[in-house]
Structure 1
Amino acid sequence: MHLDQVVNVHCTDTDKENKGKVVRMHPKGIDVELNDIILKFNKLKPNLYVCNYSGLEFVIKT
Structure 2
Amino acid sequence: MTVKKVKFEDIRKHKGRTTKKELDELSDTDIKEAVLGDKDSAMPTEDELKEFGTPKKRNISDDEKS
- Do these two structures clear the TM 0.5 threshold for a shared fold by scoring above it? no
TM-score where L is the length of structure 2: 0.21
Greater percentage in helix: 2
Bigger relative contact order (CA 8 A; separation at least 6): 1
